[in-house]
Amino acid sequence: MTPTRYAPAFMAAAALLAAVLAAAQHHDACETAQQAFSECVPYVVGEEPAVSPSCCRGLGDISDMGDTAAQRGALCACILSEVKAAAGGRMAPGRTAGLAASCKVPIGFIPTKPDFNCSTVL
């Protein structure tokens, strides 16, 4: 038996492993982003009068995670899911849009309204 006989099976197994690892990595990043943004939810929904330092730290952490447009879009969707789950989709007008400036964090993929289309994030 020649080693090349097993090459297709090996390649298929390697591709499957890569897909599983990528999915697990996405899941971990999503959980991390949701946990970090949870510190901002009280402000975003209007329950807190000001942005907390822990919210700003969380935004900084999230900002560091979005290297590509695909990652930023996925993180946006995860954050939007967090807001919808934690606050029923309520967002005080203008609060989410102003988070980056309030925290002095360069982040442009935070959803600004409950029906925000994260697939438009660059």
Residue 109 vs residue 13, higher pLDDT: 109
Helix, coil or strand: residue 68: coil
Q: What is the DSSP string of 63-105?
A: HHH--SHHHHHHHHHHHHHHHHHHHTT---TTTTTTHHHHHT-
Domain ranges of the chain: 8-120
**First-to-last CA distance in the chain?**
50
How crowded is residue 35: how many other Cβ atoms within 10 Å of its Cβ? 13
Fold exhibited by the domain 8-120: Hydrophobic Seed Protein (1.10.110)
Taking the CB of residue 62, how many other CB atoms lie within 10 A of it? 26
- The string of pLDDT tens digits covering residues 3-14 is 555 444 444 433
pLDDT digits (tens, 9 = 90+) for 53-69: 999 999 999 999 988 99
92 confidence band (pLDDT: 50, 70, 90): confident
pTM: 0.71
The CA-atom distances, in angstroms, between 113 and each of 5, 27, 50, 67, 109 are 54, 23, 19, 23, 12
Handedness of CA 61, 24, 85, 73 (dihedral sign): positive
